[in-house]
Amino acid sequence: MAVTVTQDDVQAAFNAKFGCEVAIESWKQVSVMEDGRLGFLGDHFKVKARARVPASAAEARDVSLFVKGLPENDKARATVVNTGAFKKEALFYQLFAKDMTAALGGAAGPDCQPFVFPQCHLVKDDCLLLDDLGPFGFAGMEAREPLPLEHIRLVVKALGELHAASLVLEERRGRTLLAQFPEIGYETFFTDDPKHTNATWHRASINVCVAIVPHLDKYRDLDKDTLARIQAALPPLLHEVLQSLGTWEGVRNVMCHGDSWTNNFMFRKDASGRPVEVALVDYQLARYAPPPNDLAIMLFFCSDRAFQEKHWAELKRLHWDSIAAGLRRAGCEPEKVLPWSQFESVADKMYKYGLLLMALEQPFSLAPSSLMDPLLEDPDKFYHHCHVDRTETIINMYKTDELFRSRYNQTMERIIDTYILAA
């Protein structure tokens, strides 16, 4: 079922975006997926219009919106609906986006630069109408390549702003966001609950990790007993991350992005080509968790082993410093709200979970579009790959795709050497 928007939808969204009555002279839906999909949790297009802003203006100008809708693929749509992914993103924009922007002094008004994240101007049952970041100069990056350090620093600062905004709202209201809005408390994707819609997804992911061990470059010549030991140890180890990505007791939690990897970052560059700003998009996996949740996921999704080992300490401090700066601007004392010692302790624990999550998710995040796009055109193949068995497909990708092979070797070797063979 394809998503469509109506004249009334477009009118309401532009009125909300510009804060005034807008006169729309013409508009059309334009697909943005001709050059490849932007992700499998949604279908995407733009609304491009000629409009007078405000309606009394003498001349019309070009305006646009970005539309994120439920997937047309019925199996992908079922995953997004049944996990609550679409609902979670809608809740983020309805409950938090504007208040978070205001909490840290974000810009407001027509055509302003989005602050950390775009704003949503209309929520429908099957789609969201959002700011189109393209006219502001924002563009995505190649998702399979590691991000350069200057890009990652921008992301870490933006995550800090997001987390600071969450803390500011809690400090001002005297209650946690989870207490104020318990409807946000469910986990969209990464949970150890065997009754969760995604339990079959994780079972298939763990099966891949176990089955691929005898094919990994470093371990394929090991004796059968050692291979069996590794394979037996992996499932309980990997289940740790599914038990650890939600709310933690005894420490500060915030609204985390939850899916902080390259596909969900859009960068703006200056005239020299240097990245100067980043917008964080896609909040379907948002969760109430400690701030380093986002930091660890970003680090392992977006960089290689050498980078992770070299820059972890720097990025931890940069993340906390960004949170602290946001808190100070809002009149809060960082060490009272989120002490550095607590943040660092949680971050170092979360580092392990970021690594474990990569073992489960790199077969998706590093899969070439030539593998994923056809699956999204065939509902049955999509469901089988995601929820039944993808072992043979991923082992074949490991053998034939050098980029995936190199990055997955790094992930699995660190897990096996550190948490199994050295245990």
38-59 pLDDT per residue, tens: 556 778 999 999 999 999 999 9
Percent over 90 (pLDDT), the chain? 83
On the question of pLDDT at 108 being above 70, the answer is: no
Counting beta carbons within 10 angstroms of the beta carbon of residue 61, is it exposed (0 to 12), middle (13 to 18) or buried (19 or more)?
A: exposed
pLDDT tens-digit series, residues 274-301: 999 999 999 999 999 999 999 999 999 9
Compute the mean pLDDT over every residue in the chain, rounded to the nearest whole number: 93
Q: What is the pLDDT of residue 102?
A: 87
* Structure tokens belonging to residue 260: 């902080």
On the question of pLDDT at 370 being above 60, the answer is: yes
Counting beta carbons within 10 angstroms of the beta carbon of residue 142, is it exposed (0 to 12), middle (13 to 18) or buried (19 or more)?
A: exposed
d(CA 315, CA 153): 7
Q: What is the pLDDT of residue 109?
A: 41
Q: What is the pLDDT of residue 54?
A: 95
Cβ contacts of 316 within 8 Å, gap of 6 or more: 292, 295, 343, 344, 347
HEC profile for the chain?
A: CCCCCCHHHHHHHHHHHHCCCCEEEEEEEEECCCCCCCCCCCEEEEEEEEEECCCCCCCCEEEEEEEEECCCCHHHHHHHHHCCHHHHHHHHHHHHHHHHHHHCCCCCCCCCCCECECCEEEECCCEEEEECCHHHCEECCCCCCCCCHHHHHHHHHHHHHHHHHHHHHHHHHCCCHHHHCHHHCCCCCCCCCCCCCCHHHHHHHHHHHHHHHHHCCCCCCCCHHHHHHHHHHHHHHHHHHHCCCCCCCCCCCEEECCCCCHHHEEEEECCCCCEEEEEECCCCCCEEECCHHHHHHHHHHHCCHHHHHHHHHHHHHHHHHHHHHHHHHCCCCHHHHCCHHHHHHHHHHHHHHHHHHHHHHHHHHCCCHHHHHHHHHCHHHHHHHHHHCCHHHHHHHHHHCHHHHHHHHHHHHHHHHHHHHCC
CATH architecture entry for 75-118+137-423: Alpha-Beta Complex (3.90)
On the question of pLDDT at 73 being above 70, the answer is: yes
* Structure tokens belonging to residue 415: 């897990």
The residue type found at 364 is F
What mean pLDDT comes out for the span 350-372?
94
Pairing mode of beta strands 61-69, 275-280: unpaired
Alpha carbon 384 to chain centroid distance? Answer: 24
Q: What is the pLDDT of residue 4?
A: 85
Q: Per the confidence metrics, is the pTM higher than 0.85? A: yes
On the question of pLDDT at 408 being above 80, the answer is: yes
pLDDT tens-digit series, residues 18-43: 999 999 999 999 988 655 545 567 78
What mean pLDDT comes out for the span 70-92?
91
Q: What is the pLDDT of residue 110?
A: 40
Q: What is the pLDDT of residue 154?
A: 96
Q: What is the pLDDT of residue 106?
A: 55
What mean pLDDT comes out for the span 239-246?
93
Q: Maximum distance among all alpha carbons in the chain?
A: 79
Q: Are 408 and 364 in contact (CB under 8 A)?
A: no
Q: What is the pLDDT of residue 33?
A: 64
On the question of pLDDT at 212 being above 70, the answer is: yes
Q: What is the pLDDT of residue 40?
A: 61
Q: Are 119 and 129 in contact (CB under 8 A)?
A: no
Q: Are 287 and 256 in contact (CB under 8 A)?
A: yes
d(CA 39, CA 54): 35
Q: Which of 1-5, 65-69, 206-210 has the lowest mean pLDDT?
A: 1-5
What mean pLDDT comes out for the span 187-211?
93
Which letter, b or e, does each residue of 89-109 get, where b requires 16 or more Cβ atoms within 10 Å of its Cβ?
bbbbbebbbeebbebbebeee
d(CA 230, CA 281): 37
Percent over 70 (pLDDT), the chain? 95
On the question of pLDDT at 114 being above 60, the answer is: no
* Structure tokens belonging to residue 301: 């999704």
Q: What is the pLDDT of residue 1?
A: 56
Q: What is the pLDDT of residue 2?
A: 75
